[in-house]
Amino acid sequence: MTYNTINVKTENAVTTVTLNRPDRLNALTLELADELYDVLHELDQNDETRVFVITGEGRGFCAGADMGTQTDDKGRPSNAPTLAERMHQALVDIEKPVIAAINGVAVGGGCTMTLLCDIRLAAESARFQLPFTKLGISAELGSTFLLPKLVGPGKAMELVLTSKMIDSAEALDIGLINQRVPDDELQATAAEMASLIAGFPPMSVRINKAGLKLDADMDAQFRHENMALSVLKKTEDAKEAAAAFREKRTPVFTGR
């Protein structure tokens, strides 16, 4: 399928989705949000994809909402999702792992969308900003829930209320990102991690992701783990993993 605002490439079970509006620092529009929603939800149900990587074309990851295209909702039904709602819908319920490979600036919605990803890798030149307060608006995409969980409530309050820009070194230090890598190694690092995960049993990957995102109390998490374990132990992939270990060979997982 052809898209206007994103590029999509699948190789070795890893689908890379590149935000492709480099002349606008990949700023978000309703069209981009719709295309991102469509491709993620379609390929989330496709066995040829096991892991997603989201990155940006050009010198920036995403500059947030494109303030110059706020009329692109003309002709949409009055009850159609807003840009923030559509971006949240695009990412929040994806079952397969989503890795953000953050190149350059990630501002506003470009930053908060990475919080909905499962793993965040950033280039050394990456910078992050949550400018909502100074713009007279509120933070979005569930960031008031997700950000304190990553960086702690005090640091989250600081980042949102001061609207300050931080570099990738500080982002790593406070736990906003998982890894900081040289600019020219970002895509290779993301691809290597994605390929590693894609090589594991797909059902196990999805169920473990779901368990980590459950956000329940200890008893509920324990019950989820027990149920998941009882299901996964019966899969062909679990049996293949055990057999490969005994036979000292590389396992071949089929997702069954």
The band of 75, judged by pLDDT with boundaries at 50, 70 and 90, is low
Round to whole Å and give the CA distance between 233 and 243: 13
Average pLDDT over residues 131-157: 97
Beta bridge partners of 10: 15
Average pLDDT over residues 59-80: 77
pLDDT reported for residue 230: 95
pLDDT reported for residue 72: 55
| Distances in whole angstroms, Cα of residue 137 to Cα of each of 70, 146, 244 | 15, 18, 54
Is the full-model pTM beyond 0.75?
A: yes
Q: Which CATH number fits domain 6-198: 3.30.429.10, 3.90.226.10, 3.30.365.10, 1.10.1040.10?
A: 3.90.226.10
The residue among 77, 74, 81, 129 whose CA lies nearest residue 104 is 129
The band of 1, judged by pLDDT with boundaries at 50, 70 and 90, is confident
Residues in Cβ contact with 46 at an 8 Å cutoff, skipping those fewer than 6 apart: none
Counting residues of the chain whose pLDDT is more than 90, the rounded percentage is: 91
pLDDT at 39 over 80: yes
pLDDT at 69 over 90: no
pLDDT reported for residue 27: 98
pLDDT in tens, 78-134: 677 899 999 999 999 999 999 999 999 999 999 999 999 999 999 999 999 999 999
pLDDT at 229 over 90: yes
In this structure, is the dihedral angle defined by the CA atoms of residues 34, 199, 185 and 131, taken in order, positive or negative?
positive
Beta bridge partners of 65: 28
Q: What are the extents of the domains in the chain?
A: 6-198, 202-247
pLDDT reported for residue 70: 56
